[in-house]
């Protein structure tokens, strides 16, 4: 019984942490739907562990704990994949911003030294 209370508190904490996302509306909606499914499955497996064992047996896994481990491995791999894509996107954004900043600083330095991109020609010349 104590482990059920501890696990339910842990699920509640994870729920609070995951709902603080600042992503776009579509991503946030998908995340919240996934969160509802996760919470429902987590609470059900904590309160009714024999149900998880029945599901495990139905899909050919010996124990519910093994099925849970397999699901966690898949979730971990999904997290790693998502994090890798996010880091690559952020790296590209940082590179683009660095280039823009360097070009802006070079333009400002050129203008500060009296250099212009093209000298102006008088109109009557």
Q: Does residue 103 fall inside a structural domain?
A: yes
Contact 37, 75 (CB under 8 A): no
Walking along the chain (125 residues) 10 residues at a time, the average pLDDT comes out as 71 68 69 83 88 88 87 80 84 96 93 63 60
| Number of domains observed in the structure of the chain | 2
Residues 71 and 40 in one domain: no
3-state secondary structure 101-114: HHHHHHHHHHHHCC
**pTM (predicted TM-score):** 0.59
Domain that holds residue 26: 1-47
Q: What pLDDT sits at residue 119?
A: 53
Q: Does residue 60 fall inside a structural domain?
A: no
Q: Does residue 55 fall inside a structural domain?
A: no
Q: Does residue 54 fall inside a structural domain?
A: no
């Amino acid at each position: 019984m104590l482990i059920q209370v501890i696990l339910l508190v842990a699920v509640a904490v994870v729920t609070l942490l995951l709902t603080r996302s600042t992503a776009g509306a579509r991503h946030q909606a998908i995340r919240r739907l996934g969160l509802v499914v996760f919470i429902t499955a987590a609470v059900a497996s904590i309160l009714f562990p024999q149900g998880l064992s029945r599901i495990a047996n139905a899909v050919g896994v010996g124990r519910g704990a093994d099925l849970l481990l397999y699901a966690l491995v898949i979730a971990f791999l999904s997290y790693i994949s998502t994090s890798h894509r996010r880091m690559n996107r952020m790296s590209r954004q940082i590179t683009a911003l660095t280039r823009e900043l360097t070009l802006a600083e070079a333009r400002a330095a050129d203008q500060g030294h009296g250099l212009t991109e093209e000298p102006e020609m008088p109109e009557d010349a």
